[in-house]
Structure 1
């Protein structure tokens, strides 16, 4: 696949931002797909892989040459060279041995006028040579070079996991033409082309089935374990695996716009949308590094000038210059700075592999901070596939084949033909079932009555379809119809009344079943400390029935769209941060008003991918508890890393100030902390629903 089909953009923060916060870890380096580069299926580390990565380190040959010459300089005295010429020689060789460190450290100091970890490391290595501890300078530079290479290797492996998505969709497809079949690169396919999908093949492009039927495995994209039956007219998504049927699929998008590519783009963009914890640590680190440098200078000078302590090493006792250099090394901010971004990147990647797309680390962080979650009803808690359960015309003849009821369905279908409301599809299906869908042309001059219904012109007359309160207020509705509507609503059915001009024609009632598994989802959400609330435009009886079936205690019914927004504001005032979960189609304003909007069904709906802050690719709520648990797990890892980094550094700093640590011990401690917090943060890649945080 060509690289332009993989719109991967920079993730995390830029390298320049890493430098600004005093770090040179490149944890936020751009994610790129290397064409033709094989990728692993899981995160793995190997010694061989590390050394292959190590030999590709920039300027490595210069560094190794410098280190070799520096080692040889240790024997200069035996060759007759005396001090201070040995020290001068070693100081000249030092920038060569630490080429990348010195180059970046002093460029940052003298050109950008900032401190970063390489500045601290450069000063410490120079100080070691001045103290005649050249062997420590060599160990320091060697360990630091190895640690930089190892951290880069680990981070690259973490990012590679996300790139597996790019390999899910085949690079070629079988295109059907008048001349027969031809194998083509997917980049050459255009919307409207027809491709052939054979049994067990991966589906290369998003499209609509023109011929054939099959069971499709969407687990690689949505995380859904069961097979999905697909037939003519239904959509398939790239990266899915075809079952035993043969399919002819009409391509609906260019390769660069496929669902799989859009998911990758959203996740990589999400890594730029920093969590609050990352922003805070960035701000902290940007002032922390120069403070550490200033404190180290004071440590070297104050005890000497005020307390008459030794500046240089005396016998086996370390002087205050040595102690200040140890403090510089221990104070390196890299461990603190890299821990949060790598944890967030790992969490975002793990979520994407499970079929959950977070559009930013801020939302991954925030999901676990919310106390209440509001649900839309239709299409979210219920299937969103309502069926007409009753049709009652004013002049109904009372038999199974009432022509007046058929005409009522035909009129309602014409009024609802262009509606996006979930109930509209049930009316159109009923019209098709009765064979009256084409009796009237689709309504013209449509006008939506927010939360009440809509009007339009059908067959030269103004027709209205809407709720009982609307008809009681604006139309002379027969008492018999009113009573029938009330009975239907008491059974938990949704109703719509219809008029033709000024004449009320009757009503239809619709049932929408609760989604399987929703009750368990609500139970898990409650167990995690969130309060579920249902907001719906349906009447109180319907809302109460669904609330009872799902285990939701608090619900608010008969809400107009603006009233839903008002309730979200009230919930936020009462509980704090609010999550809103919906289908992403009819509840976009509510998703936007909430602190975090969660929409489901994103794998097959481009609008859903663009609407919400968190997208459940599968068309159900099953992954919502997983997303909340993952959020809590990631936040726990971040807290662990921050506490561990600061705690251990503080302890080693005290030991260094007491003069008990060689320089190489200080740098080894810093390297160890950096690696430990990196590996701990990457535990998010292996998160499973049952995972626990041992210390949060």
Structure 2
């Protein structure tokens, strides 16, 4: 509880005590009015001030105006206790709302703790703390036990256990050794690490995460826009309605029915009508529900870039996955060299050198299998053909390394591989030299994630990959994906997603989950793009609407469940608040509802709706 909340709580307690005491005392006349004005002003001076400011700025119709008119009117009618009570209970509702927002904000603030304050740079034999913004790419920084890794980099010396819970939502530590890439925001639990930075601080993982979360609430969902529009038309409508209720029935009674006007009774009804009509529950609880949902999701390692994406995700019925790095680990290993017409070591040497300028996982596996430093000076005239492979001159010889399509493109006859996996065919000077079989391992939770998605109401799961048909089908069958499309170029993936988008129902949404640079166009094209955040490319994370921080496909299920829970809470609040308001407005207009029922309709509904919205924070067991 902050200082402001404590002050409001003290005001609530003091004015409530004074109101009870004054109600019990036998007071009358101006003395009673004067004494009741004390608790009224203690609890309501800020509301009156805001109402006057709104009138001055020509923004009259808001909840402050409604509260001021209703309570001042009640006091003028001699209903002192009710006038103070309306303001008191309104402030109690506001206090609950402030506390709830503070709680969900603290949830997101926990994530803000990943922001590093400094980076250790070794200068003249001693460590110097510098601003992370000042550290250039390639600088070696030192991270000691208990410190946060400030900038993304590669470990060049030391080994340690890293706490990644602030990024992934998982408490399981991760072991890091020399050569491993580590991301900013992790906490070094053991050992001293020397890390060579590979990005500037502004481009590091921690900066991007903070930017995503800080700006997430700026993109409003359709439900939030509905509330804003609703309040804009609703408030003046009820104000004019209350004025008509105060004036028209007495005039009708006086001039048409020739009966006493009963001005006091009808003015009281109109003031009750105003108190009931205040749309606080809707205006406060709907954005709060989305804010709480985003906060809960971020704590679970699911970063949502805006509340509109939560709404879209809740309606998802089709989930399309990339294969490599998304459903599989993306850690390729050479598992064999087949049909080779030259030595196995020579084939691997040709492949490693030809692919030496690429950072693709397959290229890295070839370089690892070669097992020696790659001398790029031996390689010239490199031509990379997207979705096919690479052609380069190695020691003056033309080497082609790629898939079936590359061999067909060059008119080179090749041997099919009978094993499942990724096949890299090698041709030297136009002659087929053999092929290398590379295998990728399915992620631990991929099968479980596909099954859980179906239980969560997903109609169809699809896998898209540029990999060979045989390897793609093997993975699809292993994890239970409904449909698989293989040997696709980036443009083909977009075309397939567009095809699926045309097939789905108008209200159904399609999500695409990917991690590579080539997935960025598809992530942008899908109704909702989901990127793997730990190993995913910057382009994919930038293009995505939602980021899964630990690359676990099971988190996709959690993201959908969080979105559905959040939207369920939003609609519960909308139906509940509007339903109670309509009933109480009718009762107030016909004179059945008094000011106390008005207080429940306004403050009670708001408190219940806010407490309901807080449930969106709790997502651990989803």
Place the TM-score, normalised by the shorter chain, in its bin. 0.7 to 0.9
Indicate if the aligned counterparts of 1:443 and 1:458 stay in contact, CA closer than 8 A. yes
Partner of 1:412: 351
Over 3 Å counting, the alpha-carbon distance change for 1:668 and 1:619 in structure 2 is same
Instruction: Report the Cα offset of residue 284 of structure 1.
Output: 1.6
Secondary structure of residue in 2 paired with 1:464: strand
For 1:311 and 1:193, locate their aligned partners in 2 and report how far apart those are by CA, in whole Å: 85
Over 3 Å counting, the alpha-carbon distance change for 1:258 and 1:164 in structure 2 is farther
Instruction: Report the Cα offset of residue 263 of structure 1.
Output: 1.7
Over 3 Å counting, the alpha-carbon distance change for 1:357 and 1:333 in structure 2 is same
Partner of 2:531: 599
Partner of 2:308: 362
Indicate if the aligned counterparts of 2:423 and 2:468 stay in contact, CA closer than 8 A. no
Over 3 Å counting, the alpha-carbon distance change for 1:555 and 1:256 in structure 2 is closer
Instruction: Report the Cα offset of residue 355 of structure 1.
Output: 1.0
Indicate if the aligned counterparts of 2:51 and 2:60 stay in contact, CA closer than 8 A. no
Instruction: Report the Cα offset of residue 208 of structure 1.
Output: 2.8
Indicate if the aligned counterparts of 1:374 and 1:533 stay in contact, CA closer than 8 A. yes
Map 1:275-314 → 2, pairs under 5 A:
275-306=221-252, 308=257, 312=262
For residues 113-132 of structure 1, what are the alpha-carbon distances to aligned partners after superposition, in whole Å with 9 as ceiling and x for unaligned? 55111121122123223322
- Which one of 177, 187, 191 corresponds to residue 231 of structure 1? 177
TM-score by length of 2: 0.88
Range 669-678 or range 176-185, more displaced: 176-185
Q: Does 1:536 align with 2:465?
A: yes
- Which one of 357, 363, 369 corresponds to residue 430 of structure 1? 369
For residues 93-143 of structure 1, what are the alpha-carbon distances to aligned partners after superposition, in whole Å with 9 as ceiling and x for unaligned? 988974432333244345335511112112212322332223322222233
For 1:536 and 1:188, locate their aligned partners in 2 and report how far apart those are by CA, in whole Å: 40
For 2:39 and 2:192, locate their aligned partners in 1 and report how far apart those are by CA, in whole Å: 69
Indicate if the aligned counterparts of 2:143 and 2:149 stay in contact, CA closer than 8 A. yes
Secondary structure of residue in 1 paired with 2:319: strand
Indicate if the aligned counterparts of 2:515 and 2:536 stay in contact, CA closer than 8 A. no
Partner of 1:680: 612
Instruction: Report the Cα offset of residue 459 of structure 1.
Output: 3.8
Over 3 Å counting, the alpha-carbon distance change for 1:455 and 1:408 in structure 2 is same
Partner of 1:136: 82
Range 275-284 or range 109-118, more displaced: 109-118
Indicate if the aligned counterparts of 2:379 and 2:395 stay in contact, CA closer than 8 A. no
For residues 474-524 of structure 1, what are the alpha-carbon distances to aligned partners after superposition, in whole Å with 9 as ceiling and x for unaligned? 3232xxx42xxx2x2x42222122334433333222111211121101100
Partner of 1:55: 7
- Which one of 400, 416, 436 corresponds to residue 508 of structure 1? 436
Indicate if the aligned counterparts of 2:515 and 2:537 stay in contact, CA closer than 8 A. no
Secondary structure of residue in 2 paired with 1:233: coil
Partner of 1:334: 280
Instruction: Report the Cα offset of residue 261 of structure 1.
Output: 4.0
Indicate if the aligned counterparts of 1:410 and 1:440 stay in contact, CA closer than 8 A. no
Indicate if the aligned counterparts of 2:40 and 2:87 stay in contact, CA closer than 8 A. no
For 2:588 and 2:214, locate their aligned partners in 1 and report how far apart those are by CA, in whole Å: 41
Over 3 Å counting, the alpha-carbon distance change for 1:465 and 1:119 in structure 2 is same
Q: Does 1:465 align with 2:435?
A: no
- Which one of 640, 645, 668 corresponds to residue 572 of structure 2? 640
TM-score by length of 1: 0.79
Over 3 Å counting, the alpha-carbon distance change for 1:567 and 1:100 in structure 2 is same
For 1:439 and 1:251, locate their aligned partners in 2 and report how far apart those are by CA, in whole Å: 23
For residues 315-343 of structure 1, what are the alpha-carbon distances to aligned partners after superposition, in whole Å with 9 as ceiling and x for unaligned? xxxx2221111111111111011111111
Secondary structure of residue in 1 paired with 2:408: helix
For 1:78 and 1:638, locate their aligned partners in 2 and report how far apart those are by CA, in whole Å: 47
Indicate if the aligned counterparts of 1:446 and 1:456 stay in contact, CA closer than 8 A. yes
Over 3 Å counting, the alpha-carbon distance change for 1:94 and 1:637 in structure 2 is closer
Indicate if the aligned counterparts of 1:629 and 1:689 stay in contact, CA closer than 8 A. no
Indicate if the aligned counterparts of 1:238 and 1:260 stay in contact, CA closer than 8 A. yes
Indicate if the aligned counterparts of 2:96 and 2:610 stay in contact, CA closer than 8 A. no
For residues 242-291 of structure 1, what are the alpha-carbon distances to aligned partners after superposition, in whole Å with 9 as ceiling and x for unaligned? 34433223455666665334322211211111111111222122111111
Indicate if the aligned counterparts of 1:446 and 1:455 stay in contact, CA closer than 8 A. yes
For 2:129 and 2:307, locate their aligned partners in 1 and report how far apart those are by CA, in whole Å: 40
For 1:148 and 1:338, locate their aligned partners in 2 and report how far apart those are by CA, in whole Å: 9
Instruction: Report the Cα offset of residue 430 of structure 1.
Output: 1.4
Indicate if the aligned counterparts of 1:343 and 1:681 stay in contact, CA closer than 8 A. yes
Secondary structure of residue in 2 paired with 1:628: helix
Indicate if the aligned counterparts of 2:517 and 2:538 stay in contact, CA closer than 8 A. no
- Which one of 412, 432, 441 corresponds to residue 378 of structure 2? 441
Structure 1 gap segments, 5+ residues each:
1-48, 397-401, 691-696
Q: Does 1:566 align with 2:490?
A: no
Over 3 Å counting, the alpha-carbon distance change for 1:344 and 1:424 in structure 2 is same
Indicate if the aligned counterparts of 2:514 and 2:540 stay in contact, CA closer than 8 A. no
Secondary structure of residue in 1 paired with 2:441: coil
Indicate if the aligned counterparts of 1:200 and 1:242 stay in contact, CA closer than 8 A. yes
- Which one of 78, 98, 107 corresponds to residue 152 of structure 1? 98
For 2:393 and 2:230, locate their aligned partners in 1 and report how far apart those are by CA, in whole Å: 63
Residue correspondences, number: 608
Partner of 1:579: 511
Map 1:366-385 → 2, pairs under 5 A:
366-385=312-331
For 2:469 and 2:261, locate their aligned partners in 1 and report how far apart those are by CA, in whole Å: 81
Range 600-609 or range 643-652, more displaced: 600-609
Indicate if the aligned counterparts of 2:100 and 2:614 stay in contact, CA closer than 8 A. no
Instruction: Report the Cα offset of residue 439 of structure 1.
Output: 7.4
Over 3 Å counting, the alpha-carbon distance change for 1:498 and 1:625 in structure 2 is same
- Which one of 199, 204, 209 corresponds to residue 263 of structure 1? 209
Instruction: Report the Cα offset of residue 171 of structure 1.
Output: 4.1
Structure 2 gap segments, 5+ residues each:
none
Instruction: Report the Cα offset of residue 182 of structure 1.
Output: 5.0
Instruction: Report the Cα offset of residue 150 of structure 1.
Output: 3.5
